[in-house]
Amino acid sequence: MPELPDVEIFRRYAEKYALNKEITGIEYKDDSMLESGKSKITRSLKGEPFVGTRRLGKYLFLKSKSKNWLVLHFGMTGQLKYFDNSSQEPEYSRFIIQFDNHHSLACISRRKLGKIEITDDPDDYISGNELGQDALEMEWGEFYEIMSSKKGGIKNALMDQSKISGIGNVYSDEILFQERIHPKNNIGKLEKKQLRSLYETMREVLKEVIKHGADPENLPDRFLLSNRKEGAKCPECNGTIQKITINGRGTYICPDCQKPDNK
DNA sequence: AGTACCACCTGACGGC
DNA sequence: TGCCGTCAGGTGGTAC
């Protein structure tokens, strides 16, 4: 789930539940997602509260009062859950931050594909990991500059995290469906006004998904995501949703709405 | 540079 | 019901 809109919901969740409470301890349930040593993580967080949040693309940063930041990446199955210590710990909790009010914040990840680490400066972290500008922060001029210099398939271009951060497999499909562009079409064939339209659609899709809490069940029926299954009926026409493969990723399109260009 | 494919890791799901 | 193959929304590395 965790693409830009999902992580934005996590950020708001952390903002609501995890700030301004002293961290009394860290519980390590599984080490495989840790990119920083346990002692460094504990040293950076324990005894201080989180005082702020930041998000770039699919990355969430939580600022500890002292100065370090906790960096979270959720992989394919990550999420956050704030819970009362007297209740059941969430299943698949891998990393638990305990607060002084007998509540904790669990980093949950079924497949353990995420990352947990410490940085003293998110900007350094972002440049060091070659992460592009956030898809919702990016202005039209920058989007145009990036996309007009790229080659190859449009879906791949949208998902290139080193150029534009936050769009993954699902929302790239959604954006291209709403824009009526076949995901394999060549980015270089789009005219400036088509790129402008793609840019606007990208923003609208991301913002609307956030508005609905990034819950696929809550999205309007006209979204591909509400019909993201092979053989489903296209919400825009009489077509049938089809599954294809791009770079090994399942990709859903309506073959009637999204026509391939002629190479 | 772009694309295809494998690996990471574990569980959910559908078919038999 | 139970076993088994396939697939899953992320990233990173390889080879071409």
Walk along chain A (263 residues) and give the pLDDT tens digit of each residue.
699 999 999 999 999 999 999 999 999 999 999 999 999 999 999 999 999 999 999 999 999 998 899 999 999 999 999 999 999 999 999 999 999 999 999 999 999 999 999 999 999 999 999 999 999 999 999 999 999 999 999 999 999 999 999 999 999 999 999 999 999 999 999 999 999 999 999 999 999 999 999 998 899 999 999 989 988 999 999 899 999 999 999 999 999 999 998 75
pTM of the model: 0.96
Q: Which residues touch strand C (CB under 7 A)?
A: A 1-3, 6, 57-58, 73, 75-76, 111, 113, 129, 159, 161, 168-170, 216, 225, 243, 249-250
| pLDDT for position A238 | 84
Cα separation, A52 vs A14, in Å, equals 9
Contacts (Cβ under 8 Å, ≥6 apart) of A83: A89, A90, A103, A104, A106
Protein-covered nucleotides on strand B (Cβ within 7 A): 1-6, 8-11
Nearest nucleotide, C1' to the C-alpha of A252? C9
Structure tokens at A16: 């609501």
Distance, C-alpha A202 to centroid of its chain: 14
| pLDDT for position A107 | 98
Long-range contacts of A107-112 (CB under 8 A, 24+ apart): A107/A33, A107/A72, A107/A78, A107/A80, A108/A77, A108/A78, A108/A79, A108/A80, A108/A81, A109/A33, A109/A74, A109/A75, A109/A77, A109/A78, A109/A79, A110/A77, A111/A75, A111/A76, A111/A77, A112/A30, A112/A32, A112/A33, A112/A75
| pLDDT for position A73 | 97
Interatomic CA–C1' length for residue A113 and nucleotide B11, angstroms: 13
Q: What is the dihedral of CA A128, A120, A214, A234, to 10 degrees?
A: 0
Nearest nucleotide, C1' to the C-alpha of A112? B9
Strand A103-109 to strand A93-99: parallel, antiparallel, or no bridges (unpaired)?
antiparallel
| pLDDT for position A11 | 98
Protein-covered nucleotides on strand C (Cβ within 7 A): 7-12
Beta pairing partners, A107: A80, A95
Could you give the count of Cα atoms lying within 13 Å of A123 in the half-sphere of its Cβ?
A: 0
| pLDDT for position A67 | 81
DSSP string, chain A: --SHHHHHHHHHHHHHHTBTSBEEEEEES--TTBSS-HHHHHHHHTTSBEEEEEEETTEEEEEESSS-EEEEE-TTTEEEEEEETTSPPPTTEEEEEEETTSEEEEEEESS---EEEEES-HHHHHHHTT--EETTT--HHHHHHHHHT--SBHHHHHT-TTTEES--HHHHHHHHHHHT--TTSBGGG--HHHHHHHHHHHHHHHHHHHHTTT-GGGS-TTSGGGG-STTPBPSSSS-B-EEEEETTEEEEE-TTTSPPP--
Interatomic CA–C1' length for residue A168 and nucleotide C15, angstroms: 24
| pLDDT for position A263 | 55
| pLDDT for position A261 | 87
